[in-house]
Amino acid sequence: MNGTTRAGGPGPLLDGAPARPAVPAAPAARRGAELGAVVARLFGAFTGRALGRHQAAAVRIGFGLVWLTYLVREWPNRRMLYGDTSPWSLDLAGRLLADNGALTVLPWFGGRLWFELVYHLAVLSAAALLLGWRTRASGVLFLVTVLSLQNRNVFLGDGGDNVVHLMAVYLVFTRCAEVWSLDARRPAGGRGGVVLWALLGGLLLVCQLGDFSGESLTWTAAAFPYVGWAPVFWGLWAVAGVWWLLGRLRRDGELRAVLDALAAMVHNCAMLVIAAEVVLIYATAGWYKVQGSRWQDGTALYYPLHLDYFTPWPGLSGLVSSALLPVFLISYGTVALQVAFPFTLVSRRVKNALLVVMMAEHLGIAVLLGLPVFSLAMVAADAVFLPTAALRWVAARVAGAGRRIGLPRLRPSAAAPPGGLPAASPEDPPVDSPPPAAAGAAPTARCR
N-term to C-term CA, the chain: 86
pLDDT (0 to 100) of residue 420: 35
CB-count exposure of residue 301 (10 Å: 0-12, 13-18, 19+): buried
User: Tens digit of pLDDT for each residue in 25-40?
Assistant: 567 777 777 777 777 7
User: Tens digit of pLDDT for each residue in 49-61?
Assistant: 889 999 999 999 9
As a whole number of angstroms, the distance between CA 385 and CA 38 comes to 23
This prediction's pTM: 0.82
Q: Binning pLDDT at 50, 70 and 90, where does residue 142 land? A: very high
Q: What three-state secondary structure class fits 227?
A: strand
User: Tens digit of pLDDT for each residue in 259-284?
Assistant: 888 889 999 999 999 999 999 999 99
User: Tens digit of pLDDT for each residue in 165-182?
Assistant: 999 999 999 999 999 999
Are the CB atoms for 167 and 274 separated by under 8 Å? Answer: yes
As a whole number of angstroms, the distance between CA 403 and CA 398 comes to 9
Q: Calculate what percentage of the chain has a pLDDT beyond 90.
A: 45
Lowest mean pLDDT among 42-46, 99-103, 410-414: 410-414
pLDDT (0 to 100) of residue 210: 84
* Residue 13 falls in which region: left (phi positive, over 0), alpha (psi -120 to 50) or beta: beta
